[in-house]
Structure formats: C-alpha cells, structure tokens
Amino acid sequence: MESLSKVIPSDIRFGILVIPIPREQDLKDSVVWENSIVGTYTPHLGYTWLLNRSRHMEEDTGKWRWLVKLKAIEKVKHLIWLVFHGCLPTNTLRFRRRLTDNQVCPRCQLVVEDTWHCIRDCRRAWEVWQELGFIRATNFLSGKIVDWIIQLVDSDQGHLFLSALWWIWRQRNCFAFKNHYEGDVWLRRNIWRMVVDSHMAWGKDMYVTKETI
C-alpha cells in the first residue's frame, strides 16, 4: 500500500485500509444489506429504508417546485439545478472525479475552488457582486447555498442576480478551459443585456412561489 500512496488518492487509500479483514479466510464474498447490522435483508428493513427515503424527498420537494416555476432561461435554471444537486463542476468536484489534478481556482490561483468560492467568494466574482450592490444585502454572506440563491432570486433584483450568477460562471469557464476572456467590460455588458432580455420576457417581477422551501 505504501508503494501506491503516490498513485492512489488519500481518500481511496484510507477507504481501503478501514475495510476489516475477515477472521475466517474460507468465507466467500457475498452481497449484504448495508442497513442491517448482520447484513441480512428483511422486508421490514426494506420498508423502513424506503419510508425514510420518501420523507427526505418530501422535505426536498419545495426547492424543485420553485426551480420549475422560475422565470429564467433554461441554461440558467440548469446552472441552479447543478448547484442544488451539489454537482457544479468546480475544480474540487472535478478533482474528486479524477478529471483534473488541480483543485485551485483557475481565476485567482489562490485557494481551492468549491462552489461558494466559484460563484461568490473568488476575488473576480466578488468584484461583480460588489459593483452590482449585492454585498450590502443582509443575507449575502449567510445561510445555506440553496437558501442564498432562492432569497436573492425572489428579491427585487432577482433578474440581475441570475444574470450575474450566469456570467460569473461563464467568466470562470473562460479561465478554466483557456478560452479567450474578453475582459470585465464585456462581462458587465452581457450581464445587463441578459437583464433587459429577462425583463422583456417575464417582466420585472421575479417572485416565484410562497411554498415552504
């Protein structure tokens, strides 16, 4: 295992090391039910697992209803869908999936790029939010990421927030994949252009639903 420590990522190596070695060497590998202490499946355990899963899905339904009703173009809704699922392809996620060997933010080159850093905390993203006045919002630096998005979208500046969110992501991808970045003036011009298009399509009202999220 030591000889492979430089090849196998540490999380996988530790996962291998914690697998208990069976006392009886003659035992054959078999399928076990992980929700049972003894590994045996019973109808009662299966029903309990499904019941707990359905309760979790019911609690999670509100944000998906909100997203379906959101007044935004599909590419923006898809971006939010990725964030809600925790699968926005930041360098941290791409590193975990063996798609890159570098977790550092492609824009600032200073810290590991997780979702928060990507869409809000990176210096380049922060400059956009600051210029647009969102940093002064009371909830801008607090809450879970799902609540953060929903509250700001449902505000008076919802269209502006969604437009900035999308173009901050586009800016990040220009740096990440070595595409030509046309500059901050180009970025801000496209943000406001999308806002105008959104107002023409849906009006200025962004409030989606009063359902409990």
pLDDT for residue 213: 39
Q: What does the buried/exposed string (b/e) look like for 113-137 if buried means 16 or more CB atoms within 10 Å of the residue's CB?
A: bbbebbbbbbebbbebbeebebeeb
pLDDT for residue 210: 42
| H-type alpha helices, the chain | 10-17, 43-69, 74-85, 91-96, 115-116, 123-132, 145-153, 158-176, 184-202
**pLDDT surpasses 50 at 209:** no
**pLDDT surpasses 50 at 114:** yes
209: which 2 tokens?
């639903």
CA of residue 100 relative to chain centroid, distance: 18
3-state class (DSSP) for residue 129: helix
Instruction: Tell me the pTM.
Output: 0.71
What is the tens place of the pLDDT at every residue in 79-99?
999 999 999 999 999 999 989
3-state class (DSSP) for residue 2: helix
Which one-letter amino acid corresponds to residue 35? N
pLDDT for residue 203: 83
pLDDT top residue among 196 and 142? 196
pLDDT for residue 191: 97
Q: What percent of the chain has pLDDT above 70?
A: 85
Q: Where are the domains of the chain?
A: 1-60, 70-213
What is the tens place of the pLDDT at every residue in 132-189?
999 988 789 888 999 999 999 998 899 999 999 999 999 999 999 988 899 999 999 9
For residues 72 and 42, give the distance between their C-alpha atoms in angstroms, rounded to a whole number.
46
